[in-house]
Amino acid sequence: MTSFRDLLPNQQYALLECARFRPGTYVYKPKTMEKLCGLGLTYQAQGNSFCLTQDGEELVRAMKDGNRK
């Protein structure tokens, strides 16, 4: 699984921001989100929207809990 420390600051921000939206409604930062798709942390839903994968959700949860793996 990808570590929080492995992500660039803009990727960290986009991941946290995506987690605040309802699944399938996050349409911002498409280039960054595509890179996160490549890491297995997000996937592209309908159109240009993105959702977190289970790994992405676990990483966000760990980041929020202060466990920055």
Most confident of 1-10, 42-51, 60-69: 42-51
The average pLDDT across 4-11 equals 90
| CA-wise closest residue to 57 among 38, 34, 36, 30 | 36
Whether the per-residue pLDDT at 17 is higher than 80: the answer is: yes
Domain boundaries, the chain: 4-64
Whether the per-residue pLDDT at 7 is higher than 60: the answer is: yes
Instruction: Say whether 12 sits in a helix, a strand or coil.
Output: helix
* Beta partners for residue 52, in sequence order: 42
Instruction: Say whether 11 sits in a helix, a strand or coil.
Output: helix
Query: Could you read off the pLDDT of 26-62 as tens digits, one per residue?
Result: 999 999 999 999 999 999 998 889 999 999 999 999 8
4-8, 10-14, 18-22: which range is least confident on average? 4-8
Interatomic CA distance for residues 33 and 35, integer angstroms: 5
